[in-house]
Amino acid sequence: MDAEAHHPALLTLPSGHELPALGLGTWRMGESRASHAAELEALRLALDIGWRAFDTAEMYGDGGAESLLGEALAPALRAALPREALYVVSKVYPHNATREGVVRACERSLRRLRLDHLDLYLLHWRGNVPLHETVAGFERLQQRGLIRHWGVSNFDREHLLDLVDVPGGAACSANQVWYSLSRRGVEFDLLPWQRSRQMPLMAYSPIDQGALLTAAPLREMAQRRGVTPAQLALAWLLHQPGVMALPKSSHGLHLQQNWGAAQLKLDAGELARLDQAFPPPTTKQPLAVG
């Protein structure tokens, strides 16, 4: 496949920098020796297909997912792939997110990833460390060139309002939350708020960890259109302005299919049928957490 010809759309961060609207998740990868070779192969295939944005975390496999990703990226970077073509996202545990702790955690993540900087570094969820401390740590990392941007994850609108109130907090570049056809609560107030600040919403578990794929209306519509349910679910997310979709797969065919979802155009009738089957929220709902 000609990767260049099929790149997904780009989203613009508040800084003006761009981020691909489709990225590959790595949760539950790098957890066992038994699956190592197959997962490494899957990540290499992903790079061949054209995937350029990768989402990981120090939590995943206790660093195992970062190490695996680093192992896949290193030969590609040594060969022809320019570092600027990649978009690597990782996350810090809340209990590591003190002013100094966040710096040390990032240095460990970079060592595992074999990279000299991250494109985006997220606070995985809100913990007990005061937000101003975490932001100070992120700023330190930016000054040292170890991260380009920082953001948060699992923050609802109220948490983001707290965040933008602390010194430097308004520089938050992205928020990563659970968002899928069957988890549309964020559309009530979080997504509109993020859009008003040009802060991309990174949709995790975009196919509900696989569970969405058996939903009858999705299957029927996908069959009618001649695509897979995963492609339809991802294409729907990619039609939402300011949203990045982050499906995980370590399966070759799924990686190809999910990549193809970025080329799938849905018409107004199809979007309306999806709204009917998976209605948008009419009231505030608690943030879904994975």
Close Cβ partners of 59 (under 8 Å, ≥ 6 residues apart): 91, 93, 124
- Give the whole-angstrom CA distance, residue 217 versus residue 178: 21
- Return the CA Rg of the chain: 18
Strands (E), the chain: 10-12, 18-20, 24-25, 53-55, 87-92, 118-123, 147-153, 175-178, 201-204, 243-245
Residues in the chain: 290
Looking at 11-19, 22-30, 112-120, 134-142, which segment touches ligand NAP (CB under 6 A)?
22-30
Residue 28 CB, shortest distance to ligand NAP, in Å, is 6
Q: Are 258 and 247 in contact (CB under 8 A)?
A: yes
Is residue 27 close enough to count as binding ligand NAP by CB under 6 A?
Answer: yes
Site pattern 231..270 for ligand NAP (x: CB under 6 A) = ---------------xxxxxx--x--xx------------
Residue 169 CB, shortest distance to ligand NAP, in Å, is 19
Q: Which DSSP state fits 62?
A: G
- Give the whole-angstrom CA distance, residue 277 versus residue 106: 42
Close Cβ partners of 71 (under 8 Å, ≥ 6 residues apart): 40, 114
Residue sitting closest to ligand NAP (CB): 25
- Give the whole-angstrom CA distance, residue 274 versus residue 22: 20
How many residues touch ligand NAP under the rule CB under 6 A: the total is 28
State which of positions 163-192 bind ligand NAP (CB under 6 A).
Answer: 176
- Give the whole-angstrom CA distance, residue 12 versus residue 118: 17
Site pattern 123..162 for ligand NAP (x: CB under 6 A) = -x----------------------------xx--------
Close Cβ partners of 248 (under 8 Å, ≥ 6 residues apart): 24, 25, 26, 27, 28, 29
Contacting ligand NAP (CB under 6 A), which of 50, 94, 206, 242?
206
Residue 231 CB, shortest distance to ligand NAP, in Å, is 7
Contacting ligand NAP (CB under 6 A), which of 58, 119, 208, 270?
208
Looking at 23-31, 137-145, 218-226, 276-284, which segment touches ligand NAP (CB under 6 A)?
23-31
State which of positions 41-80 bind ligand NAP (CB under 6 A).
Answer: 55
Contacting ligand NAP (CB under 6 A), which of 213, 227, 264, 266?
213
Contact set with ligand NAP (CB under 6 A): 25-27, 55, 124, 153-154, 176, 204-210, 213, 228, 230, 246-251, 254, 257-258, 290
